[in-house]
Structure 1
Amino acid sequence: MAEGREYRMEELADKAGITVRTLRFYRERGLLPPPRREGRIAWYDDHHLARLRTVSALLERGHTLNGIADLATVFESGRDAAELLGLRPGGPTEEVPVRLTPEELADRFAGEATPENLATALELGYLAPDGDEIVHISRRLLDVSTALVREGVPLSAVLEAARRVRVHADALAELFTEVLGAHAPEAGAAGRLRPLAKSVVEAELSMALDRRLRPDGPA
């Protein structure tokens, strides 16, 4: 699409593959942001076209118009991607953000991409809107969440577990940084902390799972 392209209502409807009547209905339902007005003429742009194509794709995936409107409201009220990705300015990280279209997100969590679950993901800082796309803060967490949902774990349960894990992860990070600050404050030690801390946590978690999963382990 040409940058900065604008369309009249009839042209926008034609490009989106819908009728003008349907476009008006979507606008009345709040599925489209207001157009730019020039006198009595309403001008729409590529953002409106992308939104219409997203609405059509989500409808094909079984979402209702009310559900799509709720999803749009949730994302428009969340922090934007620049804020989310700016939470670690210049800091070390191993996490790789992922960009998704709303349709791709719906496909990953078929039937689970509800306004309630997405609001929770926004609150936890996992997701943020960026124009017509959605940014997930971590490819690893996205892949694990997808795998758990495909195993039959409700996304709401995955997000609640993530909330609880974060509390313990923050406590562990605080513990390791305190130990480092007290006993190895020299320059460069911080860079060596991450793999050592991860090894300790992974080994302890592995042993804890062994204890839980063995036949005579805790119920």
Structure 2
Amino acid sequence: MPNPSSSAPRASAAPAQPATTAPRNEYTVDELARVTDTTVRNVRAYQDRGLLAPPEKRGRVGVYDDTHVSRLKLINHLLARGYTLANIQDLIKAVDEGHDLRSILGLETAIGGRWSRERPRKYSLIELLQMFGDKASPSALAKAVELGVLERDGLSFVSNSPSAIAAGATMAREGIPLADLLDAVSIARPHFNAIAKALVDLVVRQLDRYEADALPPPADVPELVDAIWRLRPLASVLVEGEMNRALEEASGDYLGDRVAAIMATRLGHPADGHHAHERERAAEKRGAARKSKAKK
């Protein structure tokens, strides 16, 4: 990565906020670097060069927000596409000085800002052992790091979703092997990635009314930003609803038959071939009903 110079002019103002009142995530410089996959050194260098607005000062602590996250994601994206920092600086200057380009930064935050309000949390190895017990084996921790569930930070670990870590610890205490739980995450992730892409496409499709290489007219941007902020939580609700539906069907298929067999045995009616046949027919009916719903 090029070594940014501090001789260039500073940004005249912070990126424009969304027109609507939206949840505001806040970050320390370390947290900002972590969630944007960069380094504290780069954050400070971009500030010196004028590519990134300075943080809000609260005493001796600098507080960043989602506008900084969006700006850093834009910088990272442009660097990955081969732009130099000088090119990016010219673009940012145009953004900060041009009315039409400035208005688009509201969309940048609405679309590119984080969807979660969770703050990253650091865990010591002792904390993880207390939470997961002997299930937090070296191989399980290595798998969690490989999946990005945890990130190494010296001798500690960091999670961007502490609630997921807490849920995993509870499941582990209930007897579910941690290795199996991580395998389930690994299997499910490609499907969630596909779901996320489909839903993000729905949200971002609000831009399809405009030409691909053209900015929306300034007068349209506030309404467009409002629409995207309204759609974002609805996409999460849709995912949760579909997940609950799928869990109910899966548990009905598997656990229902298992419990029925146990009840039959306890009541003195062993699950003979006839009962097994009936259960197979019931499962087939449920599968046919789901396929019929899907076609509709």
Q: TM-score range by the shorter chain?
A: 0.5 to 0.7
Task: After TM superposition, give the deviation of residue 126 of structure 1 in Å.
Answer: 1.8
Choose from 159, 166, 170 the match for 1:147. 170
Correspondence 1:157 to 2:180: yes
Correspondence 1:87 to 2:110: no
Task: After TM superposition, give the deviation of residue 149 of structure 1 in Å.
Answer: 0.5
Structure that is richer in helix per residue: 2
CA distance in 2, matches of 1:191, 1:165: 27
Task: After TM superposition, give the deviation of residue 107 of structure 1 in Å.
Answer: 1.2
Task: After TM superposition, give the deviation of residue 184 of structure 1 in Å.
Answer: 5.9
CA distance in 2, matches of 1:181, 1:101: 39
Give the letter aligned to residue 177 of structure 2: P
Q: TM-score, normalised by structure 1?
A: 0.55
Correspondence 1:137 to 2:160: yes
Any idea what the Cα deviations from partners look like across 1:68-98, whole Å, max 9, x if unmatched? xxxxxxxxxxxx9886433394432323212
Any idea what the Cα deviations from partners look like across 1:100-127, whole Å, max 9, x if unmatched? 1111111111111112111111111122
CA distance in 2, matches of 1:200, 1:82: 29
Task: After TM superposition, give the deviation of residue 153 of structure 1 in Å.
Answer: 0.8
CA distance in 1, matches of 2:121, 2:170: 16
Match of 2:149 in 1: 126
Task: After TM superposition, give the deviation of residue 196 of structure 1 in Å.
Answer: 0.6
Any idea what SS the aligned residue of 1:111 has? Answer: helix
Which has the higher Rg, Structure 1 or Structure 2? Answer: 2
Match of 1:197 in 2: 235
> Which structure 1 segments of 5+ residues have no match?
1-79
Task: After TM superposition, give the deviation of residue 170 of structure 1 in Å.
Answer: 1.1
State the identity %.
31
Any idea what SS the aligned residue of 2:135 has? Answer: coil
> Which structure 2 segments of 5+ residues have no match?
1-29, 39-68, 71-112, 209-223, 257-281, 288-296
Tell me how many residue pairs correspond in the alignment. Answer: 140
Match of 1:180 in 2: 203
Match of 2:51 in 1: none
Give the letter aligned to residue 145 of structure 2: L
Q: Is the 1:81–1:128 contact (alpha carbons within 8 Å) kept by the matching residues of 2?
A: no
Q: How does 1:49-128 map to 2 (within 5 A)?
A: 84-87=34-37, 89-90=69-70, 91-92=113-114, 93-128=116-151
CA shift in 2, pair 1:94/1:165, >3 Å: farther
CA distance in 2, matches of 1:208, 1:99: 33
Q: TM-score, normalised by structure 2?
A: 0.42
Task: After TM superposition, give the deviation of residue 144 of structure 1 in Å.
Answer: 1.0
CA RMSD of aligned residues (A): 2.8
